[in-house]
Homo-oligomer: A and B are copies of this chain.
């Protein structure tokens, strides 16, 4: 039986496919290849956990779904751009993503670079539109937060640290900071976007920030564990890559059992930050459990 959480996550994923398809351009001219590659890279499924977090956080403040869905779509576009660029031969050199060839394998590298670039700008395009929120103050606040979550003090900064992490001795503090940037920044944006859309009071914004912080780390530790325990078929991407590359991860630094305990503790801690919202935050609580129990 599908529980409430899995039903809501599935419904979000279905909604996102329709929403994202609507925002992605179609064209038959010379740009056709770019448009196809963008759709290919974005519409190939995925859990849409980030979209789920935007919508659920916004629901806490009764934000109309018509607004939160657009922000969720913008965030999924950014997440997709980052995967497309991350998979490039000069970066992680991955051939497989969500069970199908990566964008540069299915098309070519130049198209993958350009598709990622265009997806980033499309995300800002969507956020800037009056349909996303009637208030320009809210829209510009979302733009500022997203730009920050992407940039040198966000995801791209984390990806850079990750690239050079092999070369130096990494400790738990460094890997924590690295992952807070690399995967944590977009997850934080997801939850804070809900607070921005909902004109949340500072205490509630703070609670969502703390939740996102712990959830993001738990999510990444679970990812490191899946890289060890999962199969390529299950994950839809190459398994065992970190170990083969001799990469520092939470598992390599803490050991498998300790990493599992740490992830559980973080997920529990994430849930505690939601007390302020009462039962309205139940789906977000279940998201924390899902984060560490998922099989892909």
Q: Give A contacts to B, CB under 8 Å.
A: 25, 27, 29-31, 33-35, 38, 81, 85, 88, 90-91, 108-111, 113-114, 116-118, 120-122, 124-125, 127-129, 136-137, 139-141, 143-144, 146-148, 150-154, 156-157, 159-161, 163-165, 168, 174, 178
Contacts and interface: CB of A to CB of B under 8 A. Distances in A.
Name the residue in A152, A161, A163 with the highest tally of chain B Cβ atoms < 10 Å from its Cβ.
Answer: A152
B150 A121 contact: yes
Contact of A122 (B38, B81, B110, B152): B152
Chain A binding surface SS class: helix
For this chain, the copies found in one complex come to 2
A31 B160 contact: yes
Closest 4 CB pairs of A and B: A90-B109, A128-B144, A125-B147, A121-B150
A113 B91 contact: yes
A156 B91 contact: no
Name the residue in A90, A108, A129, A164 with the highest tally of chain B Cβ atoms < 10 Å from its Cβ.
Answer: A90
B144 A111 contact: no
A192 B204 CA distance: 40
Contacts of A124: 124, 143, 146-147
Nearest to A136: B136
A150 B168 CA distance: 37
Nearest to A122: B151
Given A31-B160, A161-B29, A152 B118 contact: yes
Nearest to A81: B117
A140 B147 contact: no
A140 B152 contact: no
